[in-house]
Amino acid sequence: MIMNTASNAWQNLKQHSRDMKNTTLNQLFECDADRFNRFSVCLDDFLVDYSKNLLTDETMALLAQLAIKSNLVERINEMFSGSAINISENRAALHTLLRASKPTSPSGMNIERLKQVQESLSKMTTFAEGIQSGKLTGSTGKPFKNILHIGVGGSVLGPSMAVKALAPYSKNAIAIQFVTNVDGADLHDKMSNLDPETTLILIASKTFLTQETMLNARSARTWITKALGTKSVGNHFAALSSNLKQTEEFGILPERHFELWDWVGGRYSLWSAIGLPILISIGSENFRQLLSGAHQLDNHFRNCSLEKNIPVILGLISIWHRSILGYKSHAIIPYDQRLELLIAHIQQLQMESNGKSINRDGSKIPTDSSGVIWGEVGTNAQHSFFQLLHQGSDIIPCDFLIAANAHHDLQHHHETLIANCFAQSQALMKGRNLEETKTHLRKKGLLQADIERIAPHATFPGNRPSTTILYKKLDPKTLGMLIATYEHKTFVEGVVWNINSFDQWGVELGKELANQVLAAVKTEPAPSELDRSTSGLIDQIKSFQKAIN
């Protein structure tokens, strides 16, 4: 299907946005005392309040029409059935099967895939329990105290985020660290505090050929073999990969190879063997709760009507903000310190999936696709970029995330956190006009001259959109629901924009050129076929290196 922004569905939304031009959020709430209830949706202990976005019943109806014209329901069914919806690579995108208890469709292929998933989970569980209990040891017989997980992109972003988020559910004293950067400082600094005898190294790479990951892996193997000998590799390494041949050549035992499949993309892979460090950290029961939460959201996404469907609502609001109202970025602001790494996970999920300008049919997209996803945890964010959110020239929609209950007993801290979260979304919506500001300053006892001088600077335009996601507690099930919500929101955006959300060709050119540039960095002088800027930089860096040496 070719995306047609000249269609009635798109044109009706554009006309509607012009009709809404002079409408404010304050007016919408004044006219509708029940707005919060009508523009929020709850799934068990997971609530999404989208009432502070500039939209009406008509907006949502027009967006639903756009979704229907985009064949959203059919595309959802295609994904769950295991159809090759990743058309450029001719692959399914069946990450939902990783958290399912039965096949997402009755095809023989999906029954076999689910069997593989269940066998992998069983193998992971046995291995994790062996590590946790001390039954599986290093080459000198000492139990593992540290795990070093090496990967890049989705093979690290997802598991590192989940391990941090679920720290209160950790079942043991095993410390887990993640290495992702090819910068040797990352690996060096983490290995410097570890004992090779008590360190297990997980190498996460689907192909087992990823340049950054394998460079780090080889350096880690050198570190282990220097301390413990070559024969120790089998005891101190495990692989999360689809390439059994390469893992065996590396020295990893077949029983420590955990399989990945080409129908699961990296940014959707934390539910698979890539999630082994999560399983080791929180135990099998909590890991299954993580899967259960995502599965519950999957069922909601697949079966719930469009008007009450959480990912559909969030995805369509994103379309409204980006393609109709022209907002250029979106901020993710968890008022939850343990969700600090969720921002990076969502950045990859949305920008690598939908940061594209080409339709599924290869033609140019006639509208703006994914904007910039960014953010920081609250309350830290309030003291860095909230000035921009409140008074900047760009309108930036925000997602606020907050738990009703904390994992600690510092109740006043949590009450203050909640108050700040709700106050910020309220301030973004309500603002404070010039006369209100003058009244406010007058009550503070300022002189009239000072009031006139300060008031323009202390005025807030308001009418700035936000969505609040409220959950009972950040437990494994809730985290599963939260991650799956953003996965499916991303899919909805991609369907409406007619994007293939499951490939990432945009990362390939830089990787290819890096190999050429690496060869140039190692030669003297830089090859002439490089552009003059790159060759000039290489020559200069060699000059700096000689000066140091």
Question: Three-state SS for 343?
Answer: helix
Per-residue pLDDT of the chain (549 residues; tens, 9 = 90+): 667 788 999 999 999 999 999 999 999 999 999 999 999 999 999 999 999 999 999 999 999 999 999 999 999 999 999 999 999 999 999 999 999 988 777 788 899 999 999 999 999 999 999 999 999 999 999 999 999 999 999 999 999 999 999 999 998 889 999 999 999 999 999 999 999 999 999 999 999 999 999 999 999 999 999 999 999 999 999 999 999 999 999 999 999 999 999 999 999 999 999 999 999 999 999 999 999 999 999 999 999 999 999 999 999 999 999 999 999 999 999 999 999 999 999 999 999 999 999 999 999 999 999 999 999 999 999 999 999 999 999 999 999 999 999 999 999 999 999 999 999 999 999 999 999 999 999 999 999 999 999 999 999 999 999 999 999 999 999 999 999 999 999 999 999 999 999 999 988 888 888 888 888 888 766 566 788 898 888 888 888 988 876
Active-site residue identified among 115, 119, 511, 512: 511
- 390 catalytic per annotation: no
Ordered by start, the domain boundaries in the chain are 97-287, 512-548
What pLDDT, on the 0 to 100 scale, is given for residue 520?
85
**How many CB atoms lie under 10 A from the CB of residue 270?**
30
- For 486-516, the DSSP string reads HHHHHHHHHHHHT--TT--GGGHHHHHHHHH
Is 511 known to be catalytic?
A: yes
Burial 461-495 (b: 16+ CB within 10 A, else e): ebbbbbbbbbbeebbbbbbbbbbbbbbbbbbbbbb
The rounded distance, in Å, linking the Cα atoms of 429 and 470 is: 18
Q: How far is CA 116 from CA 260, 270, 274, 375, in A?
A: 10, 16, 15, 37
pLDDT value for 138: 96
What string of H, E and C letters represents the secondary structure of 261-303?
A: CCCCCHHHCCCCHHHHHHHHHHCHHHHHHHHHHHHHHHHHHHH
Q: Which of 231, 383, 413, 444 is catalytic?
A: 383
In this prediction, residue 549 carries a pLDDT of: 63
Domain spanning 97-287 has what CATH number? 3.40.50.10490
Q: What angle do CA 475, 421, 333 make, to 5 degrees?
A: 70
* pLDDT of the residue at 349: 97
Q: Which of 197, 212, 259, 352 is catalytic?
A: 352
DSSP 3-state of 431: coil
Instruction: Confirm whether 383 is a catalytic residue.
Output: yes
Distance CA 214, CA 151 (A): 8
